[in-house]
Amino acid sequence: MPDPVRVGVIGSSGKGDYGHGLDTAFQDLEGATLVAVADDDPAGRERVASRLQVDRSYADYGRMLKREKLDIVCVGPRWHNERVAMVTAAAEAGCHIYCEKPFAPTVEAADTMATAIRKAGVTLAMAHQWRAMAPVKRIIRQVAEGRFGRLLRVIARPKDDSRGGGEELPLHGTHLFDMMLAMTGQPRWVSGHVQQEGRDVTREDRREATEPIGPVAGDAIDAVFGFDDGVRGYFLSTANLAVTRERGFDNLFGLVVECEKQRIQLRPPGDAFLYAAPSVLADQEQLGWEKVWIEDWHFTPEHQPRPLRTSWVRLGNKVLAKDLIEAIRDARSPLSGLEHAAAITEMVQGVYGSHLDQGRRLEIPLQHRKHPLLS
């Protein structure tokens, strides 16, 4: 049996923390040993080192990378302040990387990290936990097999809370685009339209998001992406459509997959629903929606329902961490790797580039690597 991989964790308490549980992704995972944690906040560092039960902790992640001879590094902070520096340093130290999403604030930043990762010959896996859910994995496989007929279009909708439009494009779009790409392959072009209070956005509408994840603008976005074989992908978002106290639901988060024979909806926490026609027909009540049940995913060995709504992120991290270890061993791409991370960054930036060019269709990879809101 091979030796367990040595794992280090980079966090930044108070400045993006450890993302969505990336500090515990490899904890108690067979084939992995947590070795050390780095956090520039003393109290946060002490707290996380205790939680992870590691003896060594560092204020400087560069020092940890030099001393610990790590195999894998978790780059946990949600904020992008030091994302390029952290990922580049980990790659240059010869470490494989499990990274919080979104990957990068701009295509230029993504290019810098991708160059470092490829030069070092290491593997990057993104923490797209939704992609790791068993029903989602099954649907992706069945779409590829042609189970539902030819794939026609994929429609992505984020939560559409107060962050709808510009902020949700990178923040929650990253999950949706990751699942979209798993079914469609790489995007070929993008066309986008961005509005603020009903008028077209300009560069002067650029603002900071609630967390530092790159430039954003607009409270409503309509974007279309072109893929091979005539498949189309859509991202639709409008702020404040989902307000619990007013409408009784708290998000519109999900992906609709339209095929020749069936319509599929993916909803958090990783559930899948099938409808026996490519479009919902309100007057055909006999069709209805059918939930995809997977016995050992939805239920415990004791046949009790799993609390997936509160545990899906943790479970997703475990699946993705195990997959990264296996991908390294088998010299294959992980479930959500560098190709997806780079493509998603281009999709997000391309929406703004197209909009500011009067909605013109832009080819992907983008010719202009600078972010159009910063130009």
> For residue 117, with 0-12 CB atoms within 10 Å meaning exposed, 13-18 middle and 19 or more buried, which class applies?
buried
**DSSP string of 241-268?**
S--HHHHS-----EEEEEESS-EEEEET
Q: What's residue 208's pLDDT?
A: 87
pTM across the whole model? 0.96
Instruction: Kindly report, residue by residue over 173-209, the tens digit of the pLDDT.
Output: 999 999 999 999 999 999 999 999 999 999 999 998 8
Highest CATH level, class, for 134-309+345-356: alpha beta
Instruction: Kindly report, residue by residue over 106-125, the tens digit of the pLDDT.
Output: 999 999 999 999 999 999 99
Q: What's residue 274's pLDDT?
A: 98
Reply yes or no on whether the pLDDT at 210 is more than 80. yes
DSSP letter, residue 201: -
Joined together, the tokens standing for residue 62 give 């560069």
Residue extents of the structural domains in the chain? 5-129+331-344, 134-309+345-356
Strands (E) across the chain are located at: 5-10, 32-38, 56-58, 72-75, 96-99, 124-126, 151-157, 189-196, 199-200, 220-226, 232-238, 254-259, 263-267, 271-275, 289-291, 362-363
Q: What's residue 186's pLDDT?
A: 98
Joined together, the tokens standing for residue 82 give 């030091």
Give the closest residue to 25 by CA, choosing from 41, 7, 4. Answer: 7
Among all chains, which residue has been given the structure tokens 């010719």?
367
What is the pLDDT of the chain when averaged over all its residues? 96
What is the mean predicted confidence (pLDDT) over 76-103?
Answer: 97
Instruction: Kindly report, residue by residue over 282-307, the tens digit of the pLDDT.
Output: 999 999 999 999 999 999 989 899 99
Fold classification of 5-129+331-344 is: Rossmann fold (3.40.50)
Q: What's residue 232's pLDDT?
A: 98
What is the mean predicted confidence (pLDDT) over 45-66?
Answer: 97
CA distances from 217 to 268, 276, 351 (A): 26, 38, 11
- Contact (Cβ atoms closer than 8 angstroms) between residue 235 and residue 122: no
